[in-house]
Amino acid sequence: MSQQNYRICANCIMDTSDAGITFDARGWCDYCNNYHDNILPNWHTDERGQAEIEQMVAKVKKDGEGREYDCLLGISGGVDSSYLAYLAKEKFGLRPLIFHVDAGWNSQQAVHNIERIVEGLGLHLHTEVINWQEMKDLQLAYFKAQVPHLDTPQDHAFFASLYNFAAKYKIKYILNGGNYSTECVREPLEWAYHASDLRQLKDIHSKFGTRPLKTFPLSDIFTYKLYYRYVKGVEVLRPLNSVPYIKEDAMQLLIDKFGWQKYAHKHYESRFTRFYEGYWQPTKFGYDKRRAHFSSLILTKQMTRDEALEKIAKPAYDPATVDQDFEYIATKLDISVEELRALHNGPNKSWRDYKSRQPLIDLGTRVMRALGVQRAIIR
């Protein structure tokens, strides 16, 4: 991108590294306008949010009568899911089964945090361990495909395992840590294509994989959005959208109550995610996901724009750690550091270079919004 064509939002720090960004006469981007026009009017954490929570908790408890667990809660060791587990047990009085997927990339912080939360709250933990040989093969296939969304194998394993488990064992409610407070600026599709697009996953694996995915958990977006939801009755709830949620306050509470460990940035509880978001994407593609993460915090008044600009001007993590992680990732994938660097220097591609269900996803989204099933909160 030439400096002459570069532009940054006057209100947040999203910029033209997102090729689809637009600006109004004030210099505000479409993410900011979407937040003020569509998200903020429908986001209630006052007495209306309290009423939403009470109604939500009542139906979960009613359906869970006579069962060992009344809901399923996926946990990564990050702040969103950890804080949600605390709220679910201590504030809502629910009986969640804590569900974790070990895809082979957990940091020690993630393992520690999960243990602290589960033990501290007296909850039960179910861990799905992904077959590493299959996971490794799929992960390497995404590297060879030269796409920026390298976290798709891990993300797909997470949500497919969770949804498949809920449907199999007839657990009606899944508590999800997704929230407007830290995620109201959505990452552009070019940066983070749908991990739930099974057609693309299979196409990339068929071109670059070397072993069949016999046990790897799979679930298409339409399976969990339609079949699991309307046939199996599995419903996803996002309680964090109905309560006051300030990220720093939540982390401090977790530290004080459970000995939870803070990590450098959003999603960095995964060592692989730290590497790909903090180094691979910015240096290979020019995408820095911190722009979306910090912009969300700017809009929800948890960070000033000046603070965000100061942080984004610095690398996500230090060069020495990058070198260590480069060697760690290469070793885990059974390739040399030189081979991994060659992949980094290879020709960039995008999700558009492979088969996808994006036209159907777009159509389905428009239909759901028209029916009022899904609010138009995305740009």
DSSP 8-state assignment for residue 293: H
pLDDT at 85: 98
Instruction: Extract the tokens encoding 11.
Output: 């209100």
Q: How confident is the model at residue 372 (pLDDT cuts 50, 70, 90)?
A: low
- Contact by Cβ (8 Å): 214, 373: no
pLDDT at 266: 58
Average pLDDT, stretch 170-186? 96
DSSP 8-state assignment for residue 354: S
Average pLDDT, stretch 229-258? 95
- Contact by Cβ (8 Å): 154, 273: yes
Using CA atoms, how far apart are residues 92 and 56, in angstroms rounded to an integer?
10
Average pLDDT, stretch 31-56? 96
Tell me the average pLDDT of the chain: 93
For the chain, first and last CA: distance in Å? 23
**pLDDT score of 374 more than 70:** no
Sign of CA dihedral 311, 314, 320, 322: positive
Q: How confident is the model at residue 75 (pLDDT cuts 50, 70, 90)?
A: very high
Average pLDDT, stretch 60-78? 95
- Contact by Cβ (8 Å): 176, 154: no
Q: How confident is the model at residue 227 (pLDDT cuts 50, 70, 90)?
A: confident
The residue written with tokens 């969300």 in the block is 296
Percent of the chain with pLDDT over 70: 94
The residue written with tokens 């020495």 in the block is 320
pLDDT at 379: 44
Instruction: Extract the tokens encoding 319.
Output: 């060069």
The residue written with tokens 């309560």 in the block is 243
Residue 332's contacts (CB-CB under 8 Å, 6 or more residues apart) are: 104, 105, 136
What's the pLDDT tens digit per position in 275-296? 999 999 999 999 999 999 999 9
Residue 92: other Cβ atoms inside 10 A: 21
**pLDDT score of 378 more than 60:** no
Using CA atoms, how far apart are residues 37 and 18, in angstroms rounded to an integer?
21
Distance of CA 236 to the CA centre of its chain: 15
Using CA atoms, how far apart are residues 150 and 294, in angstroms rounded to an integer?
21
29 beta partners: 23
**Range in 49-53, 220-224, 260-264, 338-342 with the lowest mean pLDDT:** 260-264
**pLDDT score of 93 more than 60:** yes
pLDDT at 376: 46
Alpha-carbon separation of residue 27 from 37, 40, 163 (angstroms):
16, 20, 41
Using CA atoms, how far apart are residues 46 and 52, in angstroms rounded to an integer?
10
pLDDT at 10: 98
What's the pLDDT tens digit per position in 311-359? 999 988 888 888 899 999 999 999 999 999 999 999 999 999 999 999 9
- Nearest of 81, 90, 110 to residue 264 by alpha carbon: 110
97 beta partners: 72
Question: Please, what's the b/e burial string for 52-62 (b: 16 or more CB within 10 A of its CB; e: otherwise)?
Answer: bbeebbeebee
**pLDDT score of 222 more than 90:** no
- Contact by Cβ (8 Å): 97, 67: no
Question: 348: part of which helix (H) or strand (E)?
Answer: none
DSSP 8-state assignment for residue 237: E
Instruction: Extract the tokens encoding 344.
Output: 């980094």
DSSP 8-state assignment for residue 333: T
The residue written with tokens 């939870």 in the block is 260
H, E, C per residue of 73-103: EECCCCHHHHHHHHHHHHHCCCCEEEEEEEC
Sheet holding 96-102, edge to edge: 125-129, 96-102, 71-74, 173-175, 235-237
Residue 168: other Cβ atoms inside 10 A: 9
